[in-house]
Amino acid sequence: MAFRRRFRWLWEREAPPAPVRTLAVMGLAGGLSCLFAAIFPANPAAPVQLLRAFGLVALVGAGFIWLLGERMPLWGLQASMAGGTLGTSLLISQSATGLGMVVTACGYLWICVYAAFFFSRREARAQMALIAASFGLALLLSDNWVPVDAWIFMTASLLLASETIGRQSALLHREAHTDSLLRFTFREPTDIGRVEILAGRYDADKARALFTRPRIIELTASGVMPRYSAISA
């Protein structure tokens, strides 16, 4: 009965925030992929034990991240991405074939996309630097010879994808938090002064004049909309 209540609570609880939910799904997919590769190895020399260990760790980690939900700190997300990068590099260094190395390196792409979308530009670039360094080291430690062109091509492709997604994500974020009529950017409250708008429609000129004052202002008009915190752009 206790297990049933627990399962029902897990099923009905509010879904975690998008970064946490996405990370948990990535861990689930990665863990299942590792276990599948361990159960059905493509080569007799494949690192089965390592794949099995990584698969179990990824699955347990995904469940733990999901349970933490919104309590998951930002540094936890960053550490998880860094751990995924190092784990992927270790698997590449132990891969039995060049094909296995290429397939495993696809994991870098998802890490790159995640970091570019959910992290700041500086944090995403730090993740990219870790990918480039650990991938190069993995190729050097591997028994399979891989031309340096492969490292250059993979690193350049990931860097281009990261910068493109990061720029677009930042642009969309600014557009989503900017009132196109008043040209005000909606952010968290700051010491500059906080303005809360409760309106569906309002006098733009009056609002523009009032928003310059460093105090809390409430404008109420017809209609109801969510409360936002805003500062003059």
pLDDT at 119 over 50: yes
Do the bridges between strand 229-231 and strand 178-179 make them parallel or antiparallel, or are there none, so unpaired?
unpaired
With 0.85 as the threshold, say if the pTM is over it: no
Which residues on neighbouring strands pair with residue 197, listed in sequence order? 219
- Provide the pLDDT for residue 187: 46
* Spatial contact of 193 and 213, defined as CB atoms under 8 Å apart: yes
- Provide the pLDDT for residue 82: 94
Mean pLDDT confidence for 161-189: 65
- Provide the pLDDT for residue 218: 41
The residues near 191 (Cβ < 8 Å, ≥ 6 apart) are: none
pLDDT in tens, 132-171: 999 999 988 888 887 788 888 889 988 888 888 888 877 7
Higher-confidence residue: 206 or 78? 78
The residues near 162 (Cβ < 8 Å, ≥ 6 apart) are: 112, 113, 115, 116, 124, 125, 128
- Provide the pLDDT for residue 191: 33
Higher-confidence residue: 171 or 68? 68
The residues near 48 (Cβ < 8 Å, ≥ 6 apart) are: 38, 41
pLDDT at 61 over 70: yes
Give how far Cα 188 sits from Cα of 104, 184, 191, Å: 40, 13, 10
Higher-confidence residue: 73 or 209? 73
Q: With cut-offs at 50, 70 and 90, classify the pLDDT of residue 2.
A: low
Q: Which two tokens stand for residue 46?
A: 């494949």
Q: Give the span between the Cα atoms of 39 and 37, in whole angstroms.
A: 6
Query: Residue 226 belongs to what H/E stretch?
Result: none
Q: Give the span between the Cα atoms of 3 and 8, in whole angstroms.
A: 9
* Spatial contact of 125 and 162, defined as CB atoms under 8 Å apart: yes
Q: Give the span between the Cα atoms of 156 and 167, in whole angstroms.
A: 16
Q: Give the span between the Cα atoms of 186 and 195, in whole angstroms.
A: 9
Burial environment of residue 40 by CB neighbours within 10 A (0 to 12, 13 to 18, 19 or more) = exposed
Q: Give the span between the Cα atoms of 143 and 154, in whole angstroms.
A: 19
Q: With cut-offs at 50, 70 and 90, classify the pLDDT of residue 222.
A: very low
